[in-house]
Structure 1
Amino acid sequence: MTEATASPTSSCGEPRHSVEPDEGDALLQARKLQAEVEQFAEHLADVYEDYFQEFPKYMHVSFYHDVLAEIENLERDMNSQDPLSTHRISSSNFPYLHAVWNTAKRSKNIVKLRHPVFSGPFKRRILAPGVRLKDIMSQGGSEPKRNQSGRSTRIDVICDGGLTWYKVSTITNRRLLFDMAKEAVYCGESDDSESEGGVTQYFSDIPLVKLARSLKTIAEGHQIRNSTPTPTLVLPRIFEGESIEIDKIVKFCRDMGVSVSCGNAMPSPSPLSKDLLYEMVPNPKRRITSELNIDTSVLVALTSDISHLQVTVESWFGQSQKDHIDLEANDPLIPQLCSLLNCHTLVCTKQAARSLARIVHTMGTAAENARAHLLLTPDHSTSREQRVEAFRALSIHKDSIPLQLQLPIRIVDPETRLNDCQDHLTSPLQETLQILAQPGRSVFYSGWVSGLTTVTCNVSWQCGFGSPAFFIPLIILLRSNLFDSI
């Protein structure tokens, strides 16, 4: 069942539960909805200001465009002499849009609104959109490609960091009874012990049940933090306890593993407030520790000429090197990275520092060696401010490097914490550490046992100091258990 079939055009609402607003009220409510979504957009821009991730600011755009389109249609029909305009007003999609927005207002840690996810077939489980690495959002692998538009389903609200999917339908009790009658289902007069198989067969052909089954199948094809998202059907105009037949349909959907939230179990939508907005979308910086554990990949990024200078493309450069230079030119890493580090105290393990030293001494340019020295080598004759100014002077991104940057990065030995923090290392963590190579093992070990946020670019990167082979396109924050975020 699509949103169109679940809208008032395909159902007869019960007056006892809802009263259709007149045209003036409909437009007033529509503009109130628009204002609230715009307030939500302002909140997104505020909490993600100066943050390195961009796309969460626009999680509302698809839904917002739907709202604007419906308002435009409503205003046009209200000024139209067409005799069908009254019907179009009464059958607008606003009840559905209001239901989606009310669902969002009851949700926490929203990832996306009205987001398309791949609907299969699935050769293996794919990554779902959501928070993968401690408050850092990932688009996952679920968004369909352009030529797969027919193989996608829109999830109305993706929340709880991606762990919960809400699909809204505004089907009514009366319409659901009509669908059941169409399939010749008379559950109330049937003996369950005699007709269980037949009832199941008929139930399977009901559009709402098909929607639930499809939602369950699609969710099982995705994974977020080692789990499949929990699919939930939101049915604000379905009321349990009024019809045995409808209650059995709802139970049937729940038994197949889909949560169902009906209208008489939903609290009234709360007024939009600052506190509510922070529940809907928390500040992504709220759990970043004041002290940051810096990975070797970040040390490399902070040192490389590719990050700090405009590198001239030579004829002998490979295509990947050329692409990396283009990406750095269009989306420089240093401003994003330094805005994250800013006033935080910075530490790194001695293994990470040694790894950087080997790289710059082997293949680094003079400028790269100078940056490495400023980043890591203590020198009591130089103040922090002087060190930062010298570091800024070696970069074309000088204005984006904050004067509050805490240099030098303090070098720590994680082994000194081993006895005190052994309880932090569960068996899965210890097994994971054995898989990791140095210096990554020391970096993540230090972050885990110290409870620090670890900053790493080590998802997709190549290293080639003194050449344009170096590029790090991603910044990832890790905290506590790396494998919580898969």
Structure 2
Amino acid sequence: MAHDPNHPATASHHDAATATPLVPSTQVSATLLQQCSSLLSEIDELQTLLKGSLRNPQLVEVRQFRSNVNSELKMLQKLEQRMQNNIPASADQTDPELEKRLLHAMRSSNLPFYQAVWNIAKTSCSGLVALGKRFYWEGEVKSCETTRDAGKRKNGSGGWEKQPNKDKRKSVFVDIVAGDGEEWVKVSTISESRLLFDMAKKGWERDSDDDCLSDEVEEPVKRTILRNFDGEDDENDDDDEPELIKLARDLRKAADGTRVRYRHPRLRIILPKIMEGDVPEIDDILKEMRSYGIKVECQGGLSNVSATNLAHLLPQPFKNFTPTLNVDCTLLLAMVSDLSHVKDMPPSPSFHRAIIRQIEVEKEKPLLPTELWAAMGDRELLSTEEAATRMREIVDTIGTKTEQTRMKIMMGHAPYDQLDRESLIQKFAEMSDYPVPKDWKIPLKIVEAQSVIDAAKAQGKLPSVAEKVAEGLSDINHSVFMYGWATGMTTISSNRTIDKQIEMTIENSRQGDDNSEGPFVWICDTARSLVGKDKDRQ
């Protein structure tokens, strides 16, 4: 198996190969094989957890990382076979050169690097998005694209396609994307000796700058700087910079070109083989890395706690929800649709293709038990007058009797308007094949939105770009999304098109304002239509 000489794991193993006394290859092989199999088992455990917990497990990118570890296992197994073939009947017949080569190959394995990435993800990360993802800084990635869509663009059909001709030299590979996309973690297993060698090779030295004099300051201002005497006239020459400095700068450039929910990702570099405070030259490198706004963690500051439960790695999309949720019309309809409550609904020739597809998706992962009720939890629920009125018009016009009854219960309409919450939930549960959470906050509260929006504008609670955002919204969408923005409330919806439209408008109107943010919107990846009356289907 070929190894990348610039790979941090490979670089560090050159030090290990020379510093560690040789041990019999059988012992090294057995240890590595056991560790690699154990790592694969834990990754498989995470994938099983993802499949059992998420509507779409592929949203968490783990497959490529697992494939890399599996390839490492196969390489170790081949080395094991060669080692077994080198064990003769008599120890005197052992080929010492072959033994030496096999030991070197095993000690050059990338497994310790994969173990480091996995252990750091387990012990210091939550809300996993990817184990390994490349990000580019050629052109800014808008917040509407997020980490999942980075490096892609919209095609003519409104879907995403990979952008051609991406220059890998203008990219950085992030080892862990966590915090539901808001944190990037890079792991480097470079050793102190390798880092010092890299600095010496690139001509980087410590230098005390005594000439920083100011006309207004009597005493010289001394500062320690890193200087490359061979290439100080060419600031763009990456070949003259230590590996870790280039890594920090590339991470910053990629993060500055990416937004997740209107913000740039937080950056963290972890150096498990570097001890801070031991070598001044290395401390200078760490200081330079932190100057890019990156959190740098070294050996002494890492957690030694072993995580036995992987549940914290699951995406946590609801963690920042406000105590009250603003529910869009699209989800109001989904919550009363027969499609969301009837298990194994038989398809009918009169069904639209979209409804047939929703029935298929519902069989795989029921929307309410696996997503919507989890999103709402025990939070207060409200809807704007415009959204509630539109939902009522649609259900009254084309909804089935059961869909109309569910709407009346959920919204607290007559004849259910005198019932308390527990009674409403009991009535609603009688019309669903799924258990209804006892802490579900029904009936929904209906609010008047426009006066709240106007007051927020008058009080300066909305940025100037809000006017431009509002221009592109229909009356219903204006009431829903602008109300959520004006109140700082989480809006939940399945209207991804409008959400992306709002984000794009804000991104295109920044004009240097790096802090501009729009409404906090959570998008449910799948919608539910009403089944509708037979006459309406025809």
Q: After TM superposition, is the score higher than 0.5?
A: yes
In structure 2, the residue matched to 1:72 is 74
In 2: Cα distance, 1:352 partner to 1:207 partner: 57
> Where do 5+ consecutive residues of structure 2 fail to align?
87-97, 153-160, 213-226, 499-516, 523-538
In structure 1, the residue matched to 2:94 is none
Q: 1:348, 1:409 within 8 Å by CA — same for their partners in 2?
A: no
Q: 1:296, 1:355 within 8 Å by CA — same for their partners in 2?
A: yes
TM-score, L = length of structure 2 = 0.63
In structure 1, the residue matched to 2:220 is none
Tell which has more relative contact order, 1 or 2 (C-alpha 8 A, sep 6+). Answer: 1
In structure 1, the residue matched to 2:174 is 155
Aligned residue type for 2:366: P
Residues 1:236 and 2:267 are matched in the alignment: no
In structure 1, the residue matched to 2:296 is 261
Q: Deviations over 1:356-382 (max 9, x none)?
A: 234456x63666767655654432499
1:98 to 104, 115, 139: 115
CA drift of 1:332 comes to 4.2
In structure 2, the residue matched to 1:179 is 198
Structure-to-structure mapping, 1:102-113, within 5 angstroms: 102-113=119-130
The secondary structure found in structure 2 opposite 1:270 is coil
Residues 1:460 and 2:466 are matched in the alignment: no
Q: 1:105, 1:270 within 8 Å by CA — same for their partners in 2?
A: no
Q: 2:4, 2:10 within 8 Å by CA — same for their partners in 1?
A: no
The secondary structure found in structure 2 opposite 1:113 is coil
CA RMSD across the alignment: 5.0
Structure-to-structure mapping, 1:315-464, within 5 angstroms: 324=354, 327-328=357-358, 330-332=360-362, 335-337=366-368, 339-342=370-373, 347-360=382-395, 364=398, 376=411, 377-380=413-416, 384=424, 388=428, 399=433, 409-414=443-448, 427-428=461-462, 432=466, 435=470, 438-443=475-480, 454-460=491-497
Between 1:265-274 and 1:371-380, the stretch displaced more is 371-380
Q: 1:212, 1:258 within 8 Å by CA — same for their partners in 2?
A: no
Q: 1:127, 1:224 within 8 Å by CA — same for their partners in 2?
A: yes
**Alignment coverage as a number of residue pairs:** 435
> Where do 5+ consecutive residues of structure 1 fail to align?
131-137, 315-320, 393-398, 462-480
The secondary structure found in structure 1 opposite 2:197 is helix
CA drift of 1:225 comes to 2.8
Q: Against the structure 1 CA distance between its residues 192 and 59, is the aligned structure 2 distance closer, same or farther, given a 3 Å change threshold?
A: farther
Percent identical across equivalent pairs? 24
2:34 to 28, 46, 55: 28
Q: 2:484, 2:519 within 8 Å by CA — same for their partners in 1?
A: no
TM-score, L = length of structure 1 = 0.68
In structure 1, the residue matched to 2:157 is none
Q: Deviations over 1:278-302 (max 9, x none)?
A: 5544765566688754321223445
Residues 1:270 and 2:305 are matched in the alignment: yes
Structure-to-structure mapping, 1:186-197, within 5 angstroms: 187-188=205-206
CA drift of 1:215 comes to 2.1
Q: 2:130, 2:177 within 8 Å by CA — same for their partners in 1?
A: yes
Aligned residue type for 1:455: I
In 2: Cα distance, 1:11 partner to 1:127 partner: 39
The secondary structure found in structure 2 opposite 1:139 is helix
1:221 to 243, 248, 257: 257
Aligned residue type for 1:269: N
CA drift of 1:228 comes to 1.5
Aligned residue type for 2:250: S
Q: Against the structure 1 CA distance between its residues 127 and 243, is the aligned structure 2 distance closer, same or farther, given a 3 Å change threshold?
A: same
In 1: Cα distance, 2:442 partner to 2:144 partner: 39
In structure 2, the residue matched to 1:298 is 331
In 1: Cα distance, 2:314 partner to 2:20 partner: 30
Q: Against the structure 1 CA distance between its residues 16 and 70, is the aligned structure 2 distance closer, same or farther, given a 3 Å change threshold?
A: closer
Aligned residue type for 2:180: G
In 2: Cα distance, 1:239 partner to 1:16 partner: 20
Q: Against the structure 1 CA distance between its residues 357 and 271, is the aligned structure 2 distance closer, same or farther, given a 3 Å change threshold?
A: closer
Q: Against the structure 1 CA distance between its residues 364 and 198, is the aligned structure 2 distance closer, same or farther, given a 3 Å change threshold?
A: same
In structure 1, the residue matched to 2:91 is none
CA drift of 1:259 comes to 2.4
Q: 2:450, 2:479 within 8 Å by CA — same for their partners in 1?
A: no
Residues 1:139 and 2:123 are matched in the alignment: no
Q: Against the structure 1 CA distance between its residues 2 and 437, is the aligned structure 2 distance closer, same or farther, given a 3 Å change threshold?
A: farther
2:286 to 250, 261, 265: 250
Q: Deviations over 1:235-272 (max 9, x none)?
A: 222344444444443333333x1526353443243212
Q: 1:239, 1:262 within 8 Å by CA — same for their partners in 2?
A: no
The secondary structure found in structure 1 opposite 2:180 is helix
The secondary structure found in structure 2 opposite 1:214 is helix
The secondary structure found in structure 1 opposite 2:462 is helix
CA drift of 1:427 comes to 0.8
Aligned residue type for 2:8: A
In 1: Cα distance, 2:372 partner to 2:295 partner: 43
Q: 2:271, 2:298 within 8 Å by CA — same for their partners in 1?
A: yes
In 2: Cα distance, 1:356 partner to 1:251 partner: 57
In 2: Cα distance, 1:405 partner to 1:170 partner: 48
In structure 1, the residue matched to 2:9 is 7
In 2: Cα distance, 1:16 partner to 1:119 partner: 36
In 2: Cα distance, 1:225 partner to 1:162 partner: 9
In 2: Cα distance, 1:120 partner to 1:25 partner: 41
In 2: Cα distance, 1:364 partner to 1:155 partner: 49
The secondary structure found in structure 2 opposite 1:223 is coil
Q: Against the structure 1 CA distance between its residues 26 and 416, is the aligned structure 2 distance closer, same or farther, given a 3 Å change threshold?
A: same
Aligned residue type for 1:235: L
CA drift of 1:328 comes to 3.1
In 1: Cα distance, 2:480 partner to 2:296 partner: 44
In 1: Cα distance, 2:320 partner to 2:123 partner: 22
Q: Against the structure 1 CA distance between its residues 286 and 180, is the aligned structure 2 distance closer, same or farther, given a 3 Å change threshold?
A: closer
In 1: Cα distance, 2:393 partner to 2:466 partner: 26
